[in-house]
């Protein structure tokens, strides 16, 4: 199926989650003062062009059981999804990715599959995707900074990808890595994190039916600022867990290091599950503000996906294994 389309010790506290709570609150209050109490806001992000450029349509996309009707919520506007992003490879402000990623080249693209797996190798993106059905899945996205979206992702089942490559009995975890290219990704010239960006899942988490590798949204090819050409989506976890612009998957026996956990282990645990009872050290996670809405809403355990994923963490202390 073809798709058309520095040292950690030098990190400043302001760079670990730069301006996040402070600026979001300032932007929100400024907008609210103009709009008046009770009105619906367009987006919390800084002013941007009226409409984001749209990508090519994806062919052969089928609807999944995770759709707008079953979720029972409104989709977040396309412009908001594509202009209010965390993608530090292109800058740390929310509008930096949309402004700085326009020239990012996503073709040709390949993904290395390594480690405890029967079919290791380096695969062209189209060959990597071809054996799997493209599905539209409408999922909530929750950021650790207490904002959220409802996104109509297009992607392939991560479980099916894993089965295709055949992990061996030693594959207890799967690690992911983002492209390292400071010439194309200007944010990598700053020591905000230890580049390249790294993430990982326990193998049973990766095999959960909710986990996907997304290649698009709103039925179109993934915008650069949202993680083109392929990114992880795990809707029961905070957004930083869903690594973008993936170039490597490695199956291994040991828990892999992850970028935010390396940078600030007290703030960002390996599991990163959405849990309203566990506060971030600098703010509460009990409520969230949906982009495009005025008032906050209560944060749901596992972001509302407890029925599908709670069994993965049975017997664990989720206040310690956060």
> Can you tell me the distance from the alpha carbon of 277 to that of 288, in angstroms, rounded to the nearest whole number?
13
pTM: 0.85
Most confident of 13-27, 35-49, 158-172: 158-172
> Can you tell me the distance from the alpha carbon of 160 to that of 179, in angstroms, rounded to the nearest whole number?
23
> Can you tell me the distance from the alpha carbon of 216 to that of 133, in angstroms, rounded to the nearest whole number?
13
User: Comparing C-alpha atoms, which of 300, 304, 302 is closest to residue 322?
Assistant: 302
Given pLDDT bands bounded at 50, 70 and 90, which one contains residue 32?
Answer: very low
**Tell me, what's the pLDDT at 48?**
42
Average pLDDT for the chain: 88
Q: At residue 233, does pLDDT exceed 60? A: yes
Beta-carbon count within 10 A of 93 CB: 17
* Rg (the chain; Cα; Å): 19
Q: Give 242-267 pLDDT, tens digit per residue.
A: 999 999 999 999 999 999 999 999 99
In the chain, what percentage of residues exceed pLDDT 90? 83
> Can you tell me the distance from the alpha carbon of 152 to that of 193, in angstroms, rounded to the nearest whole number?
29
Listed range (35-49, 78-92, 95-109, 125-139) with the worst mean pLDDT: 35-49
Q: At residue 237, does pLDDT exceed 50? A: yes
Q: At residue 125, does pLDDT exceed 80? A: yes
Q: Give 268-320 pLDDT, tens digit per residue.
A: 999 999 999 999 999 999 999 999 999 999 999 999 999 999 999 999 999 99
Strands 212-217 and 297-298: unpaired
Q: Which helix (H) or strand (E) holds 247?
A: strand 246-252
User: Residue 248 to residues 83, 123, 200: CA-CA distances in angstroms?
Assistant: 26, 10, 11
Q: Name the more confident of 218 and 43.
A: 218
The answer to whether 128 and 108 are in contact (CB under 8 A) is no
User: Comparing C-alpha atoms, which of 270, 241, 269, 266 is closest to residue 255?
Assistant: 270
Q: 3-state DSSP call for residue 12?
A: coil
Given pLDDT bands bounded at 50, 70 and 90, which one contains residue 7?
Answer: very low
User: Comparing C-alpha atoms, which of 106, 243, 132 is closest to residue 184?
Assistant: 106
Strands 173-178 and 212-217: unpaired
Strands 212-217 and 231-233: antiparallel
Spatial CB neighbours of 134, under 8 Å, sequence gap ≥ 6: 1, 3, 58, 60, 61, 62, 154, 155, 156, 215, 216
Beta-carbon count within 10 A of 297 CB: 11
Spatial CB neighbours of 173, under 8 Å, sequence gap ≥ 6: 200, 201, 202, 203, 251, 252, 253, 254, 255, 256
**Tell me, what's the pLDDT at 55?**
85
Map out the domains of the chain with their CATH numbers: 8-313 (3.90.420.10)
**Tell me, what's the pLDDT at 36?**
34
Q: At residue 234, does pLDDT exceed 80? A: yes
User: Residue 58 to residues 136, 156, 157, 312: CA-CA distances in angstroms?
Assistant: 10, 13, 16, 33
């Amino acid at each position: 199926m073809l798709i058309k389309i520095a040292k950690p010790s030098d990190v400043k506290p302001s760079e670990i989650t730069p301006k996040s709570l402070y600026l979001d609150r300032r932007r929100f209050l400024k907008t609210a003062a103009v709009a008046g109490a009770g009105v619906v806001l367009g987006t919390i992000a800084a002013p941007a062009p009226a409409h984001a450029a749209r990508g090519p349509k994806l062919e052969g996309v089928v609807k999944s059981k995770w759709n707008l009707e079953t979720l029972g919520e409104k989709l977040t506007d396309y412009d908001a999804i594509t202009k209010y992003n965390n993608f530090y490879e292109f800058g740390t402000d929310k509008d930096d990715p949309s402004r700085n990623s326009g020239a990012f080249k996503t073709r040709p693209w390949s993904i290395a599959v390594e480690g405890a797996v029967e079919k290791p190798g380096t695969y062209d993106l189209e060959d990597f995707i071809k054996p799997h059905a493209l599905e539209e899945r409408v999922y909530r996205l929750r950021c650790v900074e207490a904002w959220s979206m409802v996104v109509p992702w297009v992607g392939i089942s991560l479980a099916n990808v894993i089965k295709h490559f055949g992990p061996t009995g030693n594959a207890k975890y799967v690690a992911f890595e983002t492209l390292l290219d400071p010439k194309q990704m200007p944010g990598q010239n700053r020591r905000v994190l230890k580049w390249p960006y790294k993430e990982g899942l326990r193998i049973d988490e990766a095999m959960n039916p909710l986990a996907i590798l997304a290649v698009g949204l709103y039925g179109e090819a993934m915008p650069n600022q949202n993680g083109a050409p392929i990114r992880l989506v795990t809707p029961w976890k905070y957004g930083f867990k869903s690594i973008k612009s993936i170039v490597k998957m490695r199956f291994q026996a040991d828990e892999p290091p992850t970028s935010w956990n390396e940078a600030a282990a007290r703030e960002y645990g390996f599991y990163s599950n959405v849990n309203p009872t566990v506060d971030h050290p600098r703010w509460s996670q009990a409520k969230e503000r949906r982009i495009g809405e005025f008032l906050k809403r209560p944060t749901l355990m596992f972001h509302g996906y407890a029925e599908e994923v709670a069994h993965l963490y049975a017997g664990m202390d989720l206040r310690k294994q956060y």
